[in-house]
């Protein structure tokens, strides 16, 4: 049975039990690289990282972690914040970070709203939300993460001129996101031709959810919005 949480935008948090060694690694590494929103947020978000970083990128709901890890590896001078409440997915990324000794990733394992409200204003240079839970039944659409209130949250933490990138293979969610973002004064859709929303971004690694979409005959769409100075 799916484990739902009142007011959350995700479904279950746990899958198959982790092995004792993987559980210990998860607990230990999250104590080291996890973000604690009970603590005051730093005035400069780059202070979260032990090295100098030129920018901070955010990925909300990183799923299997393919995209987050790929971007962090190819951009070692950028700091990455990854959000994922699903324990198995978090454990996979924590294992990779520990095994490779990556120092430019910080993680948050709870509801993204808590992190967005904690982050300093105008602190994020780029944000991704890739293949979020589409909540396809109309009666569940209120659980979709993209809504006016959460776009306000994104708008607050994104720097003017920063980008918000969204991908989904569910047509109703693509239309939903496009409509909500175009109606929000802080976001401007940057597409100038069909290729701008049909093709993924440069150096795109793909994700397991995208591969599943292709197998099942669905076509992903890739939306890019600019954070205006409004």
Tens-place pLDDT, residues 142-165: 889 999 999 999 999 999 999 999
Residue 18: per-residue pLDDT: 67
Whether pLDDT at 10 is above 90: no
* Residue 133 designated active-site: yes
pLDDT band at 15 (very low <50, low <70, confident <90, very high): low
Please indicate, yes or no, if residue 1 is contained in any of the structural domains.
no
Please indicate, yes or no, if residue 13 is contained in any of the structural domains.
no
Number of domains in the chain: 1
Residue 138: per-residue pLDDT: 83
> In the chain, pLDDT over 70 holds for what percent of residues?
91
Q: 129-145 pLDDT, tens per residue? A: 999 998 888 888 888 99
Whether residue 115 contacts residue 34, with contact meaning beta carbons closer than 8 Å, is answered with no
- φ, ψ for residue 204, nearest 5 deg: -70, 125
Domain that holds residue 202: 20-227
Please indicate, yes or no, if residue 2 is contained in any of the structural domains.
no
Whether pLDDT at 5 is above 50: no
Whether residue 27 contacts residue 14, with contact meaning beta carbons closer than 8 Å, is answered with no
Please indicate, yes or no, if residue 124 is contained in any of the structural domains.
yes
Residue 14: per-residue pLDDT: 54
Catalytic residue among 133, 152, 169, 196, which? 133
Give me the mean pLDDT over the 175-200 stretch: 96
Q: What is the rounded distance in angstroms from the CA atom of residue 166 to the CA atom of residue 150?
A: 14
Bridge partners for 106 per DSSP: 81
Please indicate, yes or no, if residue 5 is contained in any of the structural domains.
no
CB-CB neighbours of 16 under 10 Å: 7
- φ, ψ for residue 2, nearest 5 deg: -70, 140
Residue 16: per-residue pLDDT: 66
Q: 40-84 pLDDT, tens per residue? A: 999 999 999 999 999 999 999 999 999 999 999 999 999 999 999
Residue 213: per-residue pLDDT: 94
Whether residue 92 contacts residue 67, with contact meaning beta carbons closer than 8 Å, is answered with no
3-state helix, strand, coil in the chain (%, to 5): 40, 20, 40
CATH code of the domain containing 51: 3.40.50.150
Q: 77-132 pLDDT, tens per residue? A: 999 999 999 998 899 999 999 999 999 999 999 999 999 999 999 999 999 999 99
């Amino acid at each position: 049975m799916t484990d739902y949480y009142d007011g959350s935008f995700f479904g279950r948090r746990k899958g198959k039990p982790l092995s004792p060694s993987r559980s210990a690694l998860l607990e230990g590494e999250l104590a080291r690289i996890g973000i604690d929103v009970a603590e005051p947020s730093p005035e400069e978000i780059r202070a979260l990282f032990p090295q100098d970083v030129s920018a901070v990128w955010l990925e909300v709901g990183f799923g299997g972690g393919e995209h987050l890890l790929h971007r962090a590896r190819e951009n070692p001078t950028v700091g990455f914040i990854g959000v994922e409440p699903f324990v198995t997915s978090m454990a996979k990324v924590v294992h990779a970070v520990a095994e490779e000794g990556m120092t430019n990733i910080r993680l948050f394992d709870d509801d993204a709203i808590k992190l967005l409200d904690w982050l300093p204003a105008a602190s994020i240079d780029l944000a991704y939300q890739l293949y979020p839970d589409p909540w396809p039944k109309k009666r569940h659409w209120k659980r979709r993460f993209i809504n006016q209130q959460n776009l306000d949250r994104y708008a607050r933490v994104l720097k003017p001129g920063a980008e918000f990138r969204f991908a989904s293979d569910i047509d109703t969610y693509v239309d939903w996101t496009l409509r909500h973002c175009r109606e929000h004064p802080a976001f401007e859709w940057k597409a100038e031709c069909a290729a701008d929303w049909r093709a993924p971004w440069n150096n795109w690694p793909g994700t397991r959810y995208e591969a599943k979409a292709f197998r099942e005959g669905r076509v992903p769409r890739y939306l890019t919005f600019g954070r205006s100075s409004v």
